[in-house]
Structure 1
Amino acid sequence: MDKRALAAFLRSRRELIRPQDVGLPGGSRRRTPGLRREEVAQLAHISTDHYSRLEQARGRQPSRQVLHGIARALRLSDQERAHLFALAGEREHDRGRRPAREVAPATTALLDRLADLPALVVDDTCQVIAWNPMAAALLGDFSTLPHTDRNVLRRIFLPAPGGITGDAPLITDDQRLAANAVSFLRLATTRYPDDAELRALIAELQVGSPAFARMWHAQEVQVDHHARQVLHHPQVGPVELDFQILSVPDRDQQLVIFTADPGSNADQALRLLKVIGTQRMDVSG
């Protein structure tokens, strides 16, 4: 950990962020440019004393969680984020322990731009870690679910009463999305062999779903980055959509985008979902 270099880097980045950029009042009584230390600490969800000591080159080595919070508060680019972790003597992505759950700012910005299409980000265990309002309208409001229930595999194989699908399966037809999800989970076991959460998820799915157990024991690895699938929605009925899976570099994450043929029934259903979804949900990624 290079305390002096870290302190200088934090100060320089803090001074570049305008209060209005992060939803704070600017005012004319600020003595220094950019954010105050206490504002950065608040945005990063850490104590002001902890952050101030880092800027004064007196702090202890920050945890990865703290670094992620600071990077988010200072709106660092991918390169700046990597530099922050390096100065703190940490690796941004510890591939040997567990999947990364922090979404890159560029990926979050892309989700925001896909205003007309459902899109979400999953890690290699198929855990949903970011989504846009259209994905919430199509698949349900993930923000209302516990983190353990924000998992595509659970939504497919263990549909819960009261959810968007009730007792009916979310996925129909040839189960391509399901096969993809199981394949990603299998690949994750080779990347994170010691992850207890991953092992518990596999055990839960095998006990709770004979369909998953059959697919898991078949040992097949089938990753289609583009396929067509039918999803059933309680308000608009069956929706036939293409899904495209784009890998996020260096993060073991996938961006899943659902599209429909222009002018098709599915296209009209998405247009309707955009209206009724935003009226009945308040969604954040």
Structure 2
Amino acid sequence: MTTEVGHYENFPVASWLCPAAIRPAVVAIYHFARTADDIADEGAATAPERLDQLSAYRTALARCLASAAEPADAAQWPQVFGPLARAAERHRLPGDLLHDLLSAFEQDIRHTASGHVYADTAELLAYCRLSANPVGRLLLHLYGIHDDESLLQSDAVCSALQLINFWQDISVDHARGRHYLPADALQGQGLRLEEFSAGAPPEVQERCRQVVRRLCEEARALMLEGAPLARRIPGRAGWELRLVVQGGLRILDKIAAIDHRSWLQRPTVGKADLPLMLWRAVSGANLNPRQPAG
């Protein structure tokens, strides 16, 4: 599972660690999600226009899953649904997980248009169930892993990645009208969303920092809850997941290194971080919940 430098991806792109037998399916699922994300987020379309487009995209998905033999050019997005149809037929992909991803994009559009603020972490995790957890479950399906413990640990890793993405991207999301900082965390520090700014007084910025710190601690705990899955999965799949876990934890380290002020600066992971991530993937040195990150 790799990520593009400078473009954060919760969704794993088929890397050299991905077995050749499932690589086309992983790429097909990735392009399905990437295209839906572009519909929801790119360009100058209005919210109703984006929802209409996603509705058409969902119809194309239903046709794709219902009849893998249907010609690829019968859909508006043949470059997406041709490969996805082949993957669905070969691997019996769970269609409900693909539909859940679309529901997450639809929710984002509606919430952005309305200025919705999530009430608490529980509501954020309900969103992660649609936006992130299907990714892990689809990959486990491709690897033939279906036991309940693995699925729950996968959910923990994927939800943690989504939350980490939120706390990494506060400055980016706020500029686009997307707000994931939960209302209960803000209220606990007597804060408003607009106070997460460079111009806020020092005492206000300190309270903002405390909010981000607490949210990052929760995300780290959730990641560590799911991390044992990577050591139980054999072969390349396990090594891919170890690196995914370490990528998420490294972002948390970077947020901590800027004193949890990620509403002012967006931390990123790059090639220079890879040796440390590889060492930690092998040693598991930072996976002890009682051990502080460093």
Q: TM-score, normalised by structure 1?
A: 0.29
Q: TM-score, normalised by structure 2?
A: 0.29
Larger Rg belongs to: 1
Q: Which has the higher helix share?
A: 2
